[in-house]
Amino acid sequence: MSLRRSGFTLIELLVVIAIIAILAAILFPVFAQARAQARKASATSNFKQLITAALMYSQDFDEKYPLAQTLGTYDANPANPDDVFGTLVQPYIKNEDLLADPGDYATKRDREYVELTPPDSVPYREAQRRFNFAAKSDFGINIQYFSPWGYMCPTYFSPISVAQSQVNKPAESIYAIDSVWNRSASGAPYGGGNYGLDPPCIFNAQFRDTRPGVTACPGSWWFGGWNPSSPNAWNVFGGAWPWHNETAVVAFADGHAKAYRISALTQGCDVRDGLGGVIFDSDKYLWDLD
Which residues is 226 bridged to in the sheet?
A: 274
Summarised one tens digit per residue, pLDDT across range 19-74 is 888 877 776 666 566 677 788 999 999 999 999 999 999 999 999 999 999 988 88
- From 163, 176, 185, 203, select the one nearest 68 (Cα to Cα): 176
Cβ neighbours of residue 281 closer than 8 Å, sequence gap 6 or more: 267, 268, 269
Contact 209, 146 (CB under 8 A): no
Summarised one tens digit per residue, pLDDT across range 234-273 is 999 999 999 998 899 999 999 999 999 999 999 999 999 9
Q: What are phi and psi of 67, to 5 degrees?
A: -70, 150
Summarised one tens digit per residue, pLDDT across range 86-110 is 999 999 999 999 999 999 999 888 8
| Structure confidence at residue 243 (pLDDT) | 95
| Structure confidence at residue 231 (pLDDT) | 94
- From 47, 236, 223, 258, select the one nearest 138 (Cα to Cα): 47
Cβ neighbours of residue 231 closer than 8 Å, sequence gap 6 or more: 187
Question: What value, to the nearest 5°, has the Cα angle with vertex 116 and ends 110 and 122?
Answer: 65
Please report which confidence band the pLDDT of residue 8 belongs to, taking 50, 70 and 90 as the band edges: low
Confidence (pTM): 0.84
Averaged confidence pLDDT in the chain: 85
Determine the residue type at 96: E
Instruction: Give the mean pLDDT of 109-137.
Output: 82
